[in-house]
Amino acid sequence: MKVVTIAMLIVFFALSRQNTLIMAAIYDAGSELSSTTPQATRTPAATPTRLPSPTAQPTPTVDATRLATGKAVYLANYCGVCHTLQAAGTAGVFGPSHEHMGSTAAQRIADPSYKGAARTAAEFIRESIVTPSAYFAPGVVNGRHPMPSYAHLPQADLDALVYFLLQQR
Ligand code: HEC
């Protein structure tokens, strides 16, 4: 009987303590609410200034120097003997046209028949130059003038070629 009384006392104590805590919390919330309400009505004027202005957005820019280097490497390696590209002044017909190569590359990797390793347009262009046999562009009769591998080119030249062709949108 005594044990039950003690147990009940403990429960009462715990409950009353919890009640005080809950009351305190409610009181806190109330006072917080009353103190923030006037502030909230005062602050909206400051909000628009935090929005990013359209002019602050970074715009994709073309690096003219890298583009010129790419064109020079393209011409030095006679890519234009087989490829047509107005930007390089070439008119080859043994390979696919390089007009819009950046967009074409993106389409190639999306093609279900593409089984190469490239996952981006830039990777596709690099693969086409280093391992041309990884994929054969549709509509190209790959017989008499197949694309030779240019894997021997210095890394900087390959980078320049990839950049140059990727910019052909
Ligand atoms: C002897 C002719 C020849 C030369 C020279 C040549 N190519 Fe090609 N190229 C081809 C042929 C043919 C194809 C299509 C077959 C293929 O996709 O592999 C091709 C495909 C490509 C493709 C993929 C095109 C697409 O639409 O999928 C790229 C990129 C490319 N060549 C870049 C180059 C670059 C850069 C050079 C110079 C460094 C070069 N080629 C030199 C014949 C040539």
Q: By the 8 A CB rule, do 2 and 10 touch?
A: no
What's the pLDDT tens digit per position in 136-164?
Answer: 888 775 567 889 999 999 999 999 999 99
Confidence at residue 108, expressed as pLDDT on a 0 to 100 scale: 96
Residue with CA at minimum distance from ligand 1 atom 5: 79
Residue with CA at minimum distance from ligand 1 atom 43: 147
Work out which ligand 1 atom sits closest to the CA atom of 134: 18
- Give dist(CA 54, CA 87) in Å, integer: 32
Residue 35: pLDDT above 50? Answer: no
What's the pLDDT tens digit per position in 45-97?
Answer: 555 556 666 666 676 789 999 999 999 999 999 999 999 999 999 999 999 99
What is the pLDDT confidence band of residue 123, given thresholds at 50, 70 and 90? Answer: very high
Query: Is the distance from the beta carbon of residue 150 to the nearest atom of ligand 1 less than 6 Å?
Result: yes
Of residues 99, 105, 107, the one with CA closest to residue 168? 99
Query: Is the distance from the beta carbon of residue 114 to the nearest atom of ligand 1 less than 6 Å?
Result: no
57 CA → ligand 1 middle, Å:
36
Percent of the chain with pLDDT over 90: 57
Query: Is the distance from the beta carbon of residue 136 to the nearest atom of ligand 1 less than 6 Å?
Result: yes
Percent of the chain with pLDDT over 70: 64
